[in-house]
Structure 1
């Protein structure tokens, strides 16, 4: 089993699906660089989860500038030397913005996004992790991050639907969509190996992986 053709891999998915934990495991297995979003550094995020739209624009812009800065370094990275695994795709940033901002705020955000978006290389593979909303909700409650405990199932449902719409037409890179309802590649070694085998076996630009 070889993943050598995938030098730049992005793991994506809604809150609670396990994308960061899986990205960590994948980078470790590949002996690669790990590039993670850093929500704990966003001073507006807890306020957004607590009070909603009042802090949505500030939250979104902080994340945008943070991710742009993180991705600038990829233009100088030698992908032949090491793998890079990221747990965010800048192309999906407008997804959250459209979900949380008013029309006027979104227009402002979109203008800024178009001006600051870096010319970062497209990934060789995007892995989109999915799970039903009740599963996401339970995982969030179980991991017990304080500022996430106010997230509602309604918000998670809207977020999951937004991800589905955003990636429905995504074709900038090969895409593997993975249903993690019954698959646990973070905590079960056998499931992690199974998913890596599925990745290595990909032959088309868009594939799905689901186990009963």
Structure 2
């Protein structure tokens, strides 16, 4: 690796659609840098399984739960002085999931307005630091769907393919207009975190290079 260093108080967010490998990336990068890993609270989410059976009934509840959990985690990161890798960003909750349900009518317009009001209030507080780098995972839709199948979560396996296709399109549009902080884009077909140490080194080097260049100003 080049002699590039990553500050110990850095904060990274790992983004990408369901099944793309965010949790693995979070764990591996956090371990290598001796950072804390911040994971989605999926197991304790009381709405997630219900949501997959009835989007319209549970989308607002699900997104409010994620928003609250995300904000609590942001507060913890600030209080600990950084050194975190986050599994999924709050920007995805807002720009992908909540917006998709509002656009498709599976979230009531009043509920969406309430949700966005809460989000806007949260981002104006000192407990909402932008990540130093967004690590964005992408790849062919079929490769991602294969990973979803391999993971074998019933609620995901029962989800119509059209839902994943819609999400995939929205992620592509979202990342192409994302400006909140610098981005490292990684294609999931071009690395193997579990078998190749050199791939991990290469990714960390890319992150360090982006931080050093500072070509995209954070808001």
> Does residue 1:41 correspond to 2:44, yes or no?
yes
Q: 1:87: how far off?
A: 1.2
> Does residue 1:179 correspond to 2:181, yes or no?
no
> Does residue 1:151 correspond to 2:154, yes or no?
no
* Structure 1 unaligned residues grouped into runs of 5+: 207-212
Tell me which of 190, 202, 208 is aligned to 1:194.
202
**Structure 1 CA distance, aligned partners of 2:136 and 2:5?**
17
Tell me which of 20, 25, 28 is aligned to 1:25.
28
Residue 185 and residue 151 in structure 1: after superposition, are their counterparts in 2 closer, same or farther (change >3 A)? farther
**Structure 2 CA distance, aligned partners of 1:132 and 1:183?**
14
**Structure 2 CA distance, aligned partners of 1:14 and 1:42?**
18
Q: TM-score, normalised by structure 2?
A: 0.83
User: 2:184, 2:206 within 8 Å by CA — same for their partners in 1?
Assistant: no
**Structure 1 CA distance, aligned partners of 2:111 and 2:37?**
32
Structure 2 counterpart SS, 1:41: coil
> Does residue 1:111 correspond to 2:117, yes or no?
yes
Runs of 4+ in 1 over 3 A off after TM superposition: 116-119, 186-190, 200-206
Residue 42 and residue 200 in structure 1: after superposition, are their counterparts in 2 closer, same or farther (change >3 A)? same
Residue 180 and residue 3 in structure 1: after superposition, are their counterparts in 2 closer, same or farther (change >3 A)? farther
**Structure 2 CA distance, aligned partners of 1:31 and 1:183?**
21
Superposition pairs for residues 76-95 of structure 1, below 5 Å? 76-79=79-82, 83-94=83-94, 95=96
User: 1:3, 1:199 within 8 Å by CA — same for their partners in 2?
Assistant: no
> Does residue 1:97 correspond to 2:98, yes or no?
yes
Q: 1:30: how far off?
A: 0.6
**Structure 2 CA distance, aligned partners of 1:64 and 1:31?**
27
Q: How many residue pairs were aligned?
A: 203
* Structure 2 unaligned residues grouped into runs of 5+: 102-106
Q: 1:75: how far off?
A: 2.1
Q: 1:50: how far off?
A: 1.9
Tell me which of 140, 165, 178 is aligned to 2:173.
165
Structure 1 counterpart of 2:6: 4
Structure 2 counterpart of 1:209: none
Structure 2 counterpart SS, 1:201: helix
**Structure 1 CA distance, aligned partners of 2:196 and 2:165?**
26
Tell me which of 65, 76, 80 is aligned to 1:73.
76
